[in-house]
Amino acid sequence: MEVAARRLEGKSALVTGAAKRIGHAISLALAREGANVAVHYSGSEKEALSLVAEIEKLGVRAAALRADLFDKRELETLLDRAREALGTIEILVNNASIFPSDTLGTVELESLERNLEINAWAPLVLTRAFAAQSERGHVINLLDSRVSGFDHTHAAYIFSKHVLSAITRTAALELAPGIAVNGIAPGLILPPAGKDEKYVDRLAQTVPLKRRGSPEDIAAAAVFLATSEFVTGETIYVDGGRHLKEYFPDGPDSR
């Protein structure tokens, strides 16, 4: 039987916040397509090293790179460290994120700054460093399906994702024709800190397709974008249609 060619053979990727959850699934999916993967992490060293071992078993190279994206020097040198470990980076996935709770009424400037720093500024700095070392490639930014509307209980977070969405479209134009820049907007995938699986399952009933997604659904979109030669400045909503409607049909508790 003929074995399908791996579509990213010989390419190298940097995935931020890769040790767990969605970043973990994206890293594995890229590796299954033949890409070498730089697994960026901050606190999750054990999980990052275990993912590196799992990726290497797929017959590609991997490296675990620690960096606190709040640290200017660590942020600015991360892409170069990935290139030193794996050669030119052709795929950058900006996945790392923070998700604190606040509202329009309670949000503080300091919280807005912190969200912007990790969720928008870090992707911008990494995209610039990426473009400086490679004339060709793909940048994939993890957004949120609520960029189509609001997230009333994570105000600073969703504002920062709106900024990342604007960066995605601006960079798509500025970095064309060599580099494609796209977004993935996940819907209900995994429970945030402090919430359990039941919370996600309950909210899934408000989703048009009446289900939650999996990290592998997001990873499949990342592989599609990383292998596409004719898509840029686009955002793929992987959310069961959640972006098509308001999010609290059952009252404020279902937001």
Residues lying near ligand NAP in the complex (CB under 6 A) are found at 17, 19-23, 41-44, 68-70, 95-99, 118, 142, 144, 186, 188-190
Q: How far is the CB of 26 from ligand NAP (least distance, A)?
A: 8
Considering the complex, state which of residue 6 and residue 70 has its C-beta at the smaller distance from ligand NAP. 70
Considering the complex, state which of residue 137 and residue 186 has its C-beta at the smaller distance from ligand NAP. 186
Candidates 206, 210, 236; CA nearest to 224 is 236
Helices and strands per DSSP (H, E), number in the chain: 8, 7
Per-residue burial over 171-192, b if 16 or more Cβ lie within 10 Å, else e, is bbeebeeebbbbbbbbbbbbee
DSSP for 120-164, written as a single string: IIHHHHHHHHHHHH-SSEEEEEE--GGGGS--TTBHHHHHHHHHH
* 64: its two tokens: 């675990």
Q: Which residue is nearest to ligand NAP (CB)?
A: 17
Q: Looking at 157, 199, 237, 247, which residue is catalytic?
A: 157
Q: How far is the CB of 97 from ligand NAP (least distance, A)?
A: 3
Considering the complex, state which of residue 190 and residue 231 has its C-beta at the smaller distance from ligand NAP. 190
Q: How far is the CB of 198 from ligand NAP (least distance, A)?
A: 15
Candidates 158, 56, 163; CA nearest to 102 is 158
Ranges assigned E (strand) in the chain: 12-15, 36-41, 62-66, 91-94, 137-142, 179-186, 235-238
Q: How far is the CB of 87 from ligand NAP (least distance, A)?
A: 23
Considering the complex, state which of residue 42 and residue 232 has its C-beta at the smaller distance from ligand NAP. 42
Asked if 209 and 240 touch (Cβ cutoff 8 Å), the reply is yes
Q: How far is the CB of 16 from ligand NAP (least distance, A)?
A: 6
User: Is there a catalytic annotation at residue 247?
Assistant: no
Considering the complex, state which of residue 115 and residue 232 has its C-beta at the smaller distance from ligand NAP. 115
Q: Which positions are catalytic?
A: 157
